[in-house]
Structure 1
Amino acid sequence: MHARLKAAVGLLAGCTLWMTPQAQALTVGDQQAEASSRTAAAADPAYDVLVFSRTAGFRHSSIGAGVTALRELGAANNFTVDATEDPAAFTTGNLARYEAVVFLSTTGDVLGAAQQTAFEQYIKGGGGYVGIHAAADTEYDWPFYEGLAGALFHSHPPTQSATVKIEDRAHDATAHLGSTWQRTDEWYDYRSNPRATAHVLASLDESSYSGGTMSGDHPIAWCKDYQGGRAFYTGGGHTDESYTEPAFRRHLLGGVRWAAGMTDADCRPETGYTPLFDGSGTTGWKQAGPGGFALADGTLTSRGGLGMLWYAAKELTGNYSLKVDWKVAGDDNSGVVIGFPASDDPWSALNNGYEIQIDATDAADRTTGSVYGIKSADLAARDAVLNPPGEWNTYEIRVTGERLEVFLNGRKINDFTNTDPARSLRQGHIGIQNHGDGDEVAFRNIRVKQGGTQQPGPRTGEVKGVNGKCLDVADGNSADGTGIQLWGCWGGPNQQWTLADDGTLRSLGKCLDVDGAGTADGTKIHLWTCHGGTNQQWTPQPDGSIRSTHSGKCLDASGATWNDGTKIHLWTCHNGPNQKWTLS
């Protein structure tokens, strides 16, 4: 369904949108928000959303307006809204009907123990959560919910106007906004800063209003992958007027679409990056070759070519992580070029560096995510997360020595090691390509982190083994004792593993476990509640094996042929292909 969705969106890339007289009277930003909403309407397959607004504490008068706005967004964008304040809706069977559950200004303890368990299972099974405003003033004694929401309410000053700083202009909830957003709301302070565990989309400029108490780092909207599911939160939505504001409605729509899996984004925590292009200008950049880039709305858009805009102010050396937000208008061609010596000749850069391609319809080694002309991306992994023309994508290009890893919207899609003595990834400049007439590719927010390239916090993705198959929790069952097997990769939550800082490998909220802390060859590997034992700790090795901390033996696909359903067990390490694993 997801791939069909994205193909459908692509068909709309060149469409002209009809605008009502009311829309024509809006500000430019609001027109963009309304237009974005209508584009999504024809793109998304039908799906269902549950809106839950029970209150056991303060009740916001805007809840009714919020329900109405979400119903209207659903009617315009092909999702159905069921609204309830009855916690009895939180059963395993009923929640399975919904792609996302919205907590709309809930307050206090709104779910009982059995209902909490059902909701936890829903999230761990790949469900989506959207928290609006007082959703952060909810369930203070439920640790799972605090982690899901990202942060809980502490206090707030009076309702007033403030400047919202947009930190991520690629996510569907914020791509329609400028670099700042002036609006009036009740601005929450939170008990903790979510930046370490969530990807911050927008934050408050505390100097623009009175009463902020988060020491100048004040996230107000964020997203995160959480125990197999997706979680989006926005602090806006206190006032009735919020829900008639086109830009805020588009913000909500983007959160719902992402939580429901209709669009993808890199929602890993992000800290320590330095901007190379932040939208304010191109100081330090030089154009090589014909054509160029137009700068408008903090965005560089290619025109003509073949040329390249390259960052001449600094050469990147050693290990680094480069992130670039990009969007194609249709069937367009461009790329990100790295590792080349200073040159005003774009062909020199291509011949002496490496291009990470942007072009969805070319040959496998020359299509989006490929190392151009050298190594194709993992096309199945790429297609599962590639947003279509008209929507933003994010590359992370991670360089460690001569190893080059490419992540698209937070998921690894390519892994390449340079062996060409005439080239080196250890030093060089970076650039973005303007390919030629008719190719329109836009870029935003180019930033780099040098030194350690590992993202802060755990790494999450597929674990691929022999025959390109994935480490899979059998039948997606999260019960203790569920077996682990090989299965064709398909992107499901039971194939998503988190390598945590404590050495555990986690899926569906539980840990990869050696049965009974055994050490014998053939001991079963299964899923089990995390308990901190060494039989749940694993160490990836440079040779591609994954070793049990408890026994020193290897994670092994049993037998001599490896098909869907092959069991995973413990075995003495022997460097065979059935003991080689790649962590996304």
Structure 2
Amino acid sequence: MIAIGQESGTFVAEVTQDAREITPQRLESVDVLVFYTTGALPISAEAWSAVQARLAAGKLGFVGLHSAADTNWPYEGPGEPYDRFIGGQFAGHPWTEGTPIRIETLDPDFPAVSMWPLSFDYAEEIYQYSGFDPARVRVLQTLDFAGTPLKRPYAVPVAWARQIGKGRLFFTNLGHTPSTWDDPRFRRQVAEAIRWAGKRTRGAAKPDVARQATWQFRALLAYQPVAGRDDTAILERLEKADPAWREATASRIAALQPAYPAKPESDRVPFETAYRAILAEVLMRAQSR
């Protein structure tokens, strides 16, 4: 972080491995708080309340990197517990270190993802999340299962932004492997994320529910490709479907994640039943357009 700040000329980093140094008094001289953390942090309720209050007032920005979504601690106080604040909680990483993936950039104009191609192949450890609500964040990058060998029938976001009062939050799941940290694009992403969170650049954080619903449909269709089925045409017809139905069905697709078998020997019947019912409904709706 120190090196990225120096080479970009964007920020001066003060680094700590002791979360107890985050205090209401210390926060008064901080513009952007960056978490590259994991596990339970020893942050006092007073400090976490102050983080959220300053962010909501527009006096602080927040950036989470990779395992910041695998961070949590008990909290009862004003605002939100950390897992809801960040946008989603680690629920496994089917895409382990070095797994080939394809990432789609949904908002190429957003400054903290503009350095990446619209679609690109990569190798990283990618999380899936519990408690993720696409209606509360703007998804900026997502896995594209059309080009990712290890598939799931539900969308898996990679980066998102969130407006909290007058403050800004950015999260990216990238950042596990040393090769990612050596990638000039990722280093620029970190710098630009800090600039955006610190209100030095513009970029919309309003949720795009319609676009995010489309990526739920894309994941559903890509999970088990069928020769001769024109998924592009199906998606085009679904774009014209009733918005309320699209949003409700996208939520049902997202709900397949906790039903997905945790182990190869797990009972697949509940998942398969739900998956096939949704797929049949989606295909029927597309045919009726």
The alignment-based identity, stated in percent, is: 26
1:113 equivalent to 2:50? Answer no
Aligned counterpart for 1:244 among listed residues 173, 182, 190? 182
The structure-2 alpha-carbon separation of the partners of 1:207 and 1:141, relative to structure 1 and needing over 3 Å to count, comes to farther
1:191 to 85, 109, 130: 130
Contact 2:10 2:191 (C-alpha < 8 Å) held by counterparts: no
User: For residue 83 of structure 2, what is the aligned residue in structure 1?
Assistant: 146
Letter in structure 1 aligned against 2:61: G
> Residues of 1 paired with 2:44 and 2:146: CA distance?
41
Partner of 1:135: 68
Match of 2:145 in 1: 206
Equivalences for 1:21-36 in 2 at 5 Å? none
Query: Is the CA contact 2:89–2:132 (under 8 Å) kept in the aligned structure 1?
Result: no
Whether contact under 8 Å (2:36, 2:68) holds in the other structure is: yes
Aligned mate of 2:159, from 213, 221, 241:
221
TM-score with structure 2 length normalisation? Answer: 0.66
Whether 1:271 and 2:209 are equivalent positions in the alignment is yes
- State yes or no: 1:255 paired with 2:193: yes
Rounded Cα–Cα distance in structure 2 between residues aligned with 1:100 and 1:163:
30
Cα gap change, 1:190 to 1:273, in 2 (>3 Å) = closer
Equivalent residue in structure 2 for 1:77, among 3, 6, 9: 9
1:90 is aligned to 2:29: no
Cα pair 2:36 2:67 within 8 Å, conserved:
yes
Counterpart of 1:147, as a letter, is R
Counterpart mapping for 1:58-457 below 5 A: 70-75=1-6, 76-126=8-58, 127-139=60-72, 141-142=74-75, 143-157=80-94, 158-159=96-97, 160-209=99-148, 211=150, 213=152, 215-272=153-210
1:4-43 deviations in Å (ceiling 9; x for gaps) = xxxxxxxxxxxxxxxxxxxxxxxxxxxxxxxxxxxxxxxx
SS at 1:82 equivalent? coil
CA contact (8 A) 1:92 1:119 kept: yes
Matched residue of 1:81: which SS? coil
Write the distance in 2 (CA, Å) between the matches of 1:109 and 1:141.
Answer: 9
CA distance in structure 1 between the aligned counterparts of 2:209 and 2:155, rounded to whole angstroms: 12
Residue type of the alignment partner of 2:172: T
- Following the alignment from structure 1 to structure 2, what is the Cα–Cα distance between the partners of residues 174 and 205? 16
Conserved? CA contact 1:163–1:181, under 8 Å: yes
TM score, norm. by length of structure 1: 0.34
Residues 80 and 449 (structure 1), Cα distance of their counterparts in 2 relative to 1, 3 Å cut = farther
Shift of 1:210: 5.0
Q: Which ranges of structure 1 fall in alignment gaps of 5 or more residues?
A: 1-69, 275-447, 457-584
Kept in 2, the 8 Å contact 1:187–1:235? The answer is: yes
* Distance in 2 of aligned mates of 1:87 and 1:269: 30
- The residue aligned with 1:540 is none
RMSD: 2.5
Structure 1 letter corresponding to 2:43: L
For residues 149-201 of structure 1, what are the alpha-carbon distances to aligned partners after superposition, in whole Å with 9 as ceiling and x for unaligned? 11111001222121000000011111122211221110101113342110011
Structure with the greater alpha carbon radius of gyration: 1
Q: Deviations over 1:532-580 (max 9, x none)?
A: xxxxxxxxxxxxxxxxxxxxxxxxxxxxxxxxxxxxxxxxxxxxxxxxx
Partner secondary structure for residue 98 of structure 1: coil
| CA distance in structure 2 between the aligned counterparts of 1:243 and 1:121, rounded to whole angstroms | 31
Q: CA deviation at 1:141?
A: 3.9
Q: For residues 193 and 145 of structure 1, what CA distance do their matches in structure 2 show? A: 13
Higher relative CO (Cα under 8 Å, sequence separation at least 6) belongs to 2
> Letter of the aligned partner of 2:107 in structure 1?
D
Task: Provide the aligned length of Structure 1 versus Structure 2.
Answer: 210
Equivalences for residues 563-582 of structure 1 within 5 A: none
